[in-house]
Structure 1
Amino acid sequence: MLIANISPRSMGKTTDTGFMAHALHEAGYTVRAWDADESQHLTQWSEAAGGFPFPVEQNATATFAGDVTPLKDGIDIVDVGHTENHPHIADSVLKIADLAIVHMEPSMADWQRVTQPRTSTPVAEIVARSAFTRPGRQAPPLWVLLNRVRTGVRSAKDIRDMLREADWNVFSAMIPARDEFKQATAFSVERAAHGPFGELVTEMETKGLIKRG
């Protein structure tokens, strides 16, 4: 199966992708990561860490869907180019995605960038239009992962409520604002499955969004 991690610019998507991939690997899944972002930040992270314990491939092109055959007995996890700058990459990845995850901070700024952008297409519309190029004319399931969540504030609850009122699926698992995540992209990752990313993997399994084998 293939998971497309999507967002507008600078919303923690690459960091989440790296930790999710490690958590899935530690949980026993066969993982292959894809750097489909022209910044090549995921690739740079892997190189700085001396290599991840799973392959990291590159394909930040509009031909992603034609170039890539998803793993049958594993999970491809894709760091997709920013939707507001590179919608052609997102369009191609979403043609073959089994699950799309939007990564966003629980802030009004990110709410507006995801749902009401002034100069780009809303993320939900990008995912919805992929249905026209997919078997059965059905878009992949779309879920929101809240990240950079600060403790002791109401922002996460408020934004979660706004998303759910707008009929978005929102994970219960949230990624806290921790320096260990923010600074991780120059170092190797250990015990990713023993924290919030492990909770995310468990929730995806419970909801039937991912399956072993």
Structure 2
Amino acid sequence: MPRIIALASPRTSSKTTNAAWLANALHARGRSVKAFDADLSHQLTDWHAANAWPFPVFGAASRQAHKNIPQALAGDDVAVVDVGHIEEHLDTARSVLRVADLCLVNLVPTVPDVERLENLPLSGFLDDVNSLRDEDVPVRVLLTRCQPSTRATKETRDHMTDSGYPVLSTVIPAVQRYAQTGAGFPLDPAGSAHDALVTELEKAGLL
């Protein structure tokens, strides 16, 4: 059956970059991928038009996303949804997560980003979403823009774990390979952190 993976966060934290790479990594693994742009910036849509990725990208920035996304899926499709900043796209984010099979909370391991997540608050937003579902949406924290050789990644992992959020083992490093993602930038997911992310999600039964 189809699976819907939503990438979300309160603020800019590489959601579109991670959505693009994850969708391409899934396609490279032989998955039937459909991507959805639920951000009013339309950045994922623009990148798709410029890069001619081998899977479609649909607009989904609507409070009707919970109806529109499932209607576009069939068979074993995997939907990768780039959710706009929750603070600015509250209705759309709530709608997407009503039908998501997995929410990847993108989090940069810095104090301001953790505070932004807690001040939203993420727990309150998820409680609101889960009140609209039969079962709670599975959530995993994806640490992104991680600087090498710093304590911040481990400290953020420990803090989020202590706060009750499962944190993925795979981290997305702050490297040029990802920082330069954009229109006209070719993506080769082989050996990437996002390829490793697919492996982790498969082993955890989340795909």
Q: TM-score per shorter chain, which class?
A: over 0.9
Amino acid at match of 1:172: S
Matched, 1:127 2:126: yes
Q: Select 2:37's aligned residue among 27, 35, 38.
A: 35
Please show how residues 3-18 of structure 1 align to structure 2 within 5 Å. Answer: 3-18=5-20
Please name the residue that 2:160 is paired with: 163
Q: Select 2:83's aligned residue among 80, 85, 89.
A: 80
SS class of match (2:6): strand
Please name the residue that 1:63 is paired with: 64
Per-residue displacement from partner, 1:62-107 (whole Å, max 9, x unpaired)?
Answer: 0111222244312001001210111100110011100001001111
Range that drifts further, 12-21 or 66-75: 66-75
Matched residue count: 203
Query: Which whole-Å CA distance do the structure 1 matches of 2:111 and 2:195 have between them?
Result: 27
Query: Which whole-Å CA distance do the structure 2 matches of 1:67 and 1:206 have between them?
Result: 29
From the superposition, tell whether residues 104 and 47 of structure 1 become closer, same or farther in structure 2 (CA, over 3 Å). Answer: same
Query: Which whole-Å CA distance do the structure 1 matches of 2:162 and 2:132 have between them?
Result: 28
CA RMSD of aligned residues (A): 1.2
- For residue 152 of structure 1, report the CA deviation from its aligned partner: 1.1
- For residue 48 of structure 1, report the CA deviation from its aligned partner: 2.1
Amino acid at match of 1:95: R
TM-score w.r.t. length of structure 1: 0.91
Amino acid at match of 2:125: I
Provide runs of 4+ in structure 1 moved above 3 Å: none
Please show how residues 1-213 of structure 1 align to structure 2 within 5 Å. Answer: 1-49=3-51, 51-69=52-70, 70-115=73-118, 117=119, 121-134=120-133, 136=134, 138-210=135-207
Query: Which runs of 5 or more residues in structure 1 are unaligned?
Result: none
TM-score w.r.t. length of structure 2: 0.94
Does the CA-based 8 Å contact 2:142-2:171 persist in structure 1? yes
Query: Which whole-Å CA distance do the structure 1 matches of 2:11 and 2:163 have between them?
Result: 22
From the superposition, tell whether residues 169 and 71 of structure 1 become closer, same or farther in structure 2 (CA, over 3 Å). Answer: farther
Query: Which runs of 5 or more residues in structure 2 are unaligned?
Result: none
Does the CA-based 8 Å contact 1:22-1:189 persist in structure 2? no
Query: Which whole-Å CA distance do the structure 2 matches of 1:35 and 1:58 have between them?
Result: 5
Does the CA-based 8 Å contact 1:6-1:102 persist in structure 2? yes
- For residue 167 of structure 1, report the CA deviation from its aligned partner: 1.0
Query: Which whole-Å CA distance do the structure 1 matches of 2:198 and 2:90 have between them?
Result: 27
- For residue 186 of structure 1, report the CA deviation from its aligned partner: 2.0
Does the CA-based 8 Å contact 2:142-2:170 persist in structure 1? yes
Does the CA-based 8 Å contact 2:21-2:187 persist in structure 1? no
- For residue 132 of structure 1, report the CA deviation from its aligned partner: 1.9
Per-residue displacement from partner, 1:126-162 (whole Å, max 9, x unpaired)?
Answer: 223222222x2x2210000001011111100010000
